[in-house]
Amino acid sequence: MRPRLHLWAFVLCLLAEVFALSGCESLHDQFREPPKQEQPQTQQAPDPRSVVNSVHLPFGNPSGATADPGNENNFLLVGGGSVISYNNALGTANWAAWRTTRDDLGDSLRRPPFQTDTRLPRWYKRIGPFDYSGSGHDRGHLVPSADRFGDPRLNAETFLMTNIVPQNRSLNQYPWNDFEQHIRAEVRKGFDAYQIAGVYGNAGKLKDKINIPTNCWKVVVLLKRNSDPSSIDENVRVIAVDMPNQQDLAHEKWEPFRTTVRQIEQRTGLDIFSTLPRGLQQTLETRVEIRSR
């Protein structure tokens, strides 16, 4: 009789231990953190102060420039013919953006004088045309004068010194000018050109005031005439160039300086197509247009 009691006691103990372990596991499950789900990547909302309502900047503000006067090295200037991020420390723009349509082109105008830009806050250093005198550098336009021959007022805006950078004469008069003419030819063929141009690097100073860039770059989006910029897709034409600001470029064409938007972004820290979906940015920014003239 006693051995049988011992056996039942053993069975009951074993069952109690099984139920106890099961209960502990269930209790642990109740407090276990659920597996983390991978969150979809979202684009960070831009600073509302940097949102620009202008036909000249439909794909986003590349540097987050604002009109806050305290933002001296990324100060936003919105004009009738362009949008500019100005850098007071450099004495030049970081970049300028503008749209060129067939209506913007026209017969050559009498050249207006270069002018100090009085839109800048009063305490910013004043850059005048005389600061380039005797320097050996051209007063190089970011927004070309010829892109605004259709309107004398907007043409005069291109001669404000905030639109001017020190360019070596062989760059300004050869591959840079050659590319400007190529884009105007595309506009005459039936495109609207959304352009952004800028500078980077330090090759010295003019009058101890104006930074001489090592490179001048430009990105151009070509949309069919009168197309809404929001219609941009992976089939759009995008041309990017990055040209050294040096002396030995006489008679050079623009094509050897083609590059990708991504390479320009990596060299400048800008986000040129900041409002476009990431996938579309990846497509547009990593290819080089190889179409010939």
- Whether 4 shows a pLDDT value over 90: the answer reads no
What gap in Å lies between CA 13 and CA 15, rounded to an integer? 5
Mean pLDDT, rounded, for 2-12: 49
More confident residue, 285 or 45: 285
Residue type, 81: G
More reliable by pLDDT, 274 or 45:
274
Contact, 139 vs 164, CB < 8 A? yes
Higher pLDDT, 25 or 211: 211
Maximum C-alpha span of the chain: 124
Q: How far apart (Å, rounded) are the C-alpha atoms in residues 107 and 142?
A: 20
* Tokens describing residue 18: 């099984």
Query: Residues 106-147: pLDDT tens digits?
Result: 988 899 999 999 999 999 999 999 999 999 999 999 999 999
CATH of domain 48-110+119-285: 3.40.570.10
In the chain, pLDDT over 90 holds for what percent of residues?
Answer: 78
Between these two residues, 152 and 32, which has the higher pLDDT value? Answer: 152
Mean pLDDT of 210-216: 98
- pLDDT tens by residue, 175-197: 999 999 999 999 999 999 999 99
Nearest in space to 90 (alpha carbons), one of 124, 61, 119: 124
pLDDT in tens, 252-264: 999 999 999 999 9
Listed in order, strand segments (DSSP E) in the chain are: 75-78, 83-87, 92-100, 137-141, 164-168, 191-200, 205-206, 210-211, 215-224, 237-244, 258-259
| Catalytic residue IDs | 141
pLDDT bin (cut points 50, 70, 90) of residue 164 is very high
Section 213-241 average pLDDT: 97
Q: What is the mean pLDDT of the chain?
A: 87
Summarize the confidence of residues 208-224 as an average pLDDT.
97
107-115: long-range pairs with CB below 8 Å, 24+:
107/149, 108/146, 108/149, 109/145, 109/149, 109/152, 109/155, 111/145, 111/159, 112/152, 112/155, 112/156, 112/159, 113/159, 114/139, 114/159, 114/160, 114/161, 114/164, 115/156, 115/159, 115/160, 115/161
